[in-house]
Amino acid sequence: MPVFKLVAECPETKARAGILSTPHGDIETPVFMPVGTLASVKAMAPNELEELGAEIILSNTYHLFLRPGPEVISKAGGVHQFMNWKHPVLTDSGGFQVFSLSDLNSVSDMGVECRSHIDGSPLFMSPEWAIEFQETLGSDIAMCFDQCVKYPCSWSEAEESVRRTTLWAERCLERHKREDQLLFGIIQGSTYEDLRLRSAQELLSMNFPGYAIGGLSVGESHEEMYRILDVLKDILPVQKPRYLMGVGHPSNLAEGVARGVDMFDCVLPTRNGRTGTLFTSEGRLNIKNSQYRLDFSPIDEKCNCYACRNFTRAYIHHLYRSKEILAARLCSWHNLHYLVNLMKQARKAIISGDYPAFLSSFHASFNERKSF
């Protein structure tokens, strides 16, 4: 039985609406997936994520391996039971930590010798390690162990990353045994079109049930990101889900959907929420600005999230000035709702045949350079 069903496709763009089936439920795509690095989406309870419409969340293999560790997760019965989340979970492989914690590690074809960012204790990460622990976690979707390179990087550095990512993908596929868990391959190649195509072709030959595009949103411009997505959109299998990793800017989501991407994730909505930066239908709003002290309108007149239905800009501004925890919670709630709902609206537009008009309307109202 196919795990992904294509429901509709825009005839003018590559935008797709689909259904991704997992053991913990179906996911309607395109979808934004909140990030719960340590089995918790920061500032949000599981029932609140359900209320705002989240269908799937992420957790992090590297961080959960260090804390609480395999023994605790195993005895809890897996990551779903541990955090009381009844819906799908995707776990990344720890490959991004090879990139983000590069000062603490040494990479070879065998794997990654590194030290814990918590206490400096040694850890060896490998494709086999990543698969074994993700199977212990029991996530619905597991990711291959890959090597992401910095931006900018030389062609030779990117080529080495592609070669190693393919090698590691083969080992992940060989080790992966859990039949109730999907394993996605990850395409690398930085901003080099030939390497992206090569990485994709090598992974396509392994017939993964889904494919992720890694190594973007690491410093390159939006235009460079879109160029790489344009290169890949026509060669990835139509009947398999496509996941753009670590991307959460509203414009990137809307344009990514137009290029055939089905799944997105990012820490941006909760990170911005903790600093008082909010996504609105017009652009970014910094609720800490003094102009909101006497503003008794909602965060966004066009939003129906819990924060916008119940509280004013003035109140949330007060919470930040008073250093109340509720400020970060309400702003994280709003930002997550904004991105989750953006993808739900995109899906409706694709199914109704109106995605080009939806995209045009989005860009006309959302000014990514506007901050107020």
**Two tokens at 127?**
């494709």
Using N-to-C axis directions, what is the helix angle for 155-175 and 127-137, rounded to 10°?
Answer: 50
Peptide bond into 356 cis (omega under 30): no
* Block residue for tokens 């804390």: 67
Contacts of 119-124 with C-beta under 8 Å, sequence gap 24+, read 123/65, 123/66
Q: Which of 92, 140, 262, 300 is catalytic?
A: 92
Q: Are strands 210-213 and 242-244 parallel, antiparallel or unpaired?
A: parallel
> Do residues 218 and 192 lie in contact, with contact meaning Cβ atoms separated by under 8 Å?
no
Q: Are strands 182-187 and 105-107 parallel, antiparallel or unpaired?
A: unpaired
Exposure on the CB side of residue 225, measured as CA atoms within 13 A: 26
Indicate the residue type of 144.
C
Residue 25 three-state SS: strand
Distance CA 354, CA 357 (A): 5
Q: How far apart are the first and last CA of the chain?
A: 49
> Do residues 67 and 117 lie in contact, with contact meaning Cβ atoms separated by under 8 Å?
no
Contacts of 315 (CB under 8 A, 6+ apart): none
For residue 323, the 8-state DSSP code is: T
Burial of 88 (0-12, 13-18, 19+ CB in 10 A): buried
> Do residues 315 and 297 lie in contact, with contact meaning Cβ atoms separated by under 8 Å?
no
Q: Which of 119, 265, 295, 300 is catalytic?
A: 265
Residue 265 is among the residues annotated as catalytic for this protein: yes
Distance CA 314, CA 342 (A): 25
Q: Supply angle C-alpha 175, 180, 184, rounded to 5.
A: 60
**Two tokens at 181?**
């868990």
Distance CA 69, CA 60 (A): 12
Which sequence positions are flagged as catalytic? 92, 265
